[in-house]
Amino acid sequence: MDSLNRVQIKKGMWTKCKECSSILYTESLKNNFYICEKCNYHMRISAKERIREIIDKDTFKEMFKEIKTKNVLNFVGYDEKIRVAKIKSSSDEVVTVGVGSINGISVALGVMDSNFIMGSMGTAVGERITRLVEYASYNKLPLILFTASGGARMQEGILSLMQMAKISAAIGRYKEKGGLYISVLTDPTTGGVTASFAMQGDIIISEPGALIGFAGKKVIENTIKEELPKNLQTAEFLLERGQIDHIVNRKELKEFLFNILDINEGMHYESGC
Ligand SMILES: [Zn+2]
């Protein structure tokens, strides 16, 4: 027998860090919130994993799952792309929305997953988020959206772009009623999502090292014919310029969110709302 066959390594047992190339034991990585223990790189995680990390056990109730993606423009190859994305992400769309608790405080939560067609925003994504915002508004719940997106979904054309205005308007109405909206930007948050609801948070948080921007860096450089700073479009760059409020390590994120929610509840209690 070939000596190489004697040791069987289970598939997925080890994960390579994209940032520092360290080989990490996947189980330890999971226990460490999918953060590289060598370089603090925050790996991209699924919506399911995010909910597991942030929401109290067994309290999450998914909503609006009946809203599904349709190939309304009959875009060639789109149906197949959706089918593959569902398998790859173990999810039925980019965004999962619902209600759950953070250390006992109820919240309306939406989580985007970049594993599903690069987190692109189509009509189903827009409709699910809008309904979540309206649900939060009606039920006076704080709203938390985790963003991760490559931008608009080109297979849905102008209908995709319209979601920006639709979600933004719903958030505007929610805020007018006094709702608290916390936006958490994760890697990558770009395109139409950045140009709309990602940057509308009353409080905007980001994970370390997250890519946040509108157009790609090369597109900007080619347009303005100038070289741009190396760290442009990172969470750290935006924090320095006041475009986001805080960068929070994933391990401390649940507690950080809870503290904001707790203060918010106290304010409502004092004002009798
Ligand atoms: Zn690393």
Q: Are the beta carbons of 145 and 197 closer than 8 angstroms? A: yes
The model's pTM: 0.92
Confidence of residue 200 (pLDDT cuts 50, 70, 90): very high
Confidence of residue 5 (pLDDT cuts 50, 70, 90): low
Confidence of residue 190 (pLDDT cuts 50, 70, 90): very high
- CA-CA distance, 147 to 114, in Å (whole number)? 9
Burial class (CB within 10 angstroms; exposed 0-12, middle 13-18, buried 19+) of 170 = buried
Q: What separation in Å is there between the alpha carbon of 42 and the centre of ligand 1?
A: 8
Q: What percent of the chain has pLDDT over 90?
A: 85
Q: What separation in Å is there between the alpha carbon of 16 and the centre of ligand 1?
A: 8
Over 90: is that where the pLDDT of 198 sits?
Answer: yes
Q: What separation in Å is there between the alpha carbon of 152 and the centre of ligand 1?
A: 30
Over 90: is that where the pLDDT of 94 sits?
Answer: yes
Q: Return phi, psi of residue 101, to 5°.
A: -115, 145
Q: What separation in Å is there between the alpha carbon of 24 and the centre of ligand 1?
A: 9
- The whole-number pLDDT of residue 1 equals 46
Q: What separation in Å is there between the alpha carbon of 124 and the centre of ligand 1?
A: 35
- CA-CA distance, 259 to 17, in Å (whole number)? 31
Q: Are the beta carbons of 165 and 196 closer than 8 angstroms? A: yes
Pick the more confident residue, 230 or 63: 63
> Which protein residues have their CB within 5 A of the ion that is ligand 1?
17, 19-20, 22, 36, 38-39, 41
Q: What separation in Å is there between the alpha carbon of 39 and the centre of ligand 1?
A: 4
